[in-house]
Amino acid sequence: MYYGYGFGRFLDPTYILVILAGVIALAASAYCNSTMSSYSRNRISTGVTGQEAAERVLHAAGIFDVGVRQMGGRGISFYRYDKTVNLSAELFHQSSITAVATAAHECGHAMQHASGYGVNRLINLLNPVMQISSNAAIPVFILGLIFSLEILQTVGIVLFSVVVVFQHVTLPSEFNASRRAMVMLQNTGILRTEEEVRGARKVLIAAGLTYVAALAGALLQLMRLVILAGGRDRD
């Protein structure tokens, strides 16, 4: 089965998997952006900003050693293990469903850190290996194809499998942080109406779907590598 690498004779049919992965990722990203944009225009009845929501959630969880910082960029947020919740300027200052839901989600990661959440320990353990694997997997695999070295193809597939495992392990951490966020948003009184609760849940589900899409894309890419290796074996 010759796919014509380099100066190929015809288009590699496994690119269909790459295109499918791209479509899934774009669809998830578009849905997430649309949902967050929509609910960023919905001001919550309590008037609490993203910064205030983060501080209130952290304190309600008994966490007083985590700071809440404003940073550049739009719609960006993350929790760092230097004990900071980082929110973009718009999320930091906005009093919207998107702002408080996103802030509370990042605080969910802070709560995981404080409680020694087991999945996060596994993520931290895998992260350095994943970084190396994600950078090396495709180049190693391509070298295996070019020089018809099955061992390099196998190593490339194994390395990329680490990326897939990492994406899979990340999912429960993100979903758990969102569950913690929803509980705290209601328990602290930040969200008071059923409409606000539904909106926050939609925002967090939309964000979670981007991680599902990333896993699906990684699985499709892994499938492609296996098919390519199998095709060369039959030549």
**Strand pairing report for 67-71 and 77-80:** unpaired
What pLDDT sits at residue 231? 76
Q: Which of 52, 55, 106, 196 is catalytic?
A: 106
Q: How many residues does the chain have?
A: 235
pLDDT tens-digit map of 50-73:
999 999 999 999 999 999 999 987
**Percentage of residues in the chain with pLDDT exceeding 70?**
93
What pLDDT sits at residue 235? 52
What pLDDT sits at residue 8? 45
Residue that is written with structure tokens 């758990």 in the block: 176
Q: Is the pLDDT at 80 greater than 60, yes or no?
A: yes
Q: Is the pLDDT at 213 greater than 50, yes or no?
A: yes
Q: Assign 3-class secondary structure to the chain.
A: CCCCCCCCCCCCCCHHHHHHHHHHHHHHHHHHHHHHHHHCCCECCCCCCHHHHHHHHHHHCCCCCCEEEEECCCCCEEEECCCEEEEEHHHHHCCEHHHHHHHHHHHHHHHHHHHCCHHHHHHHHHHHHHHHHHHHHHHHHHHHHHCCCHHHHHHHHHHHHHHHHHHHHHHHHHHHHHHHHHHHHHHCCCCCCHHHHHHHHHHHHHHHHHHHHHHHHHHHHHHHHHHHHHHHHHC
What pLDDT sits at residue 39? 98
pLDDT tens-digit map of 95-151:
999 999 999 999 999 999 999 999 999 999 999 999 999 999 999 999 999 999 999
CB distance 209 to 28 below 8 Å: yes
Tokens encoding 36: 């967050």
| 106 part of the active site | yes
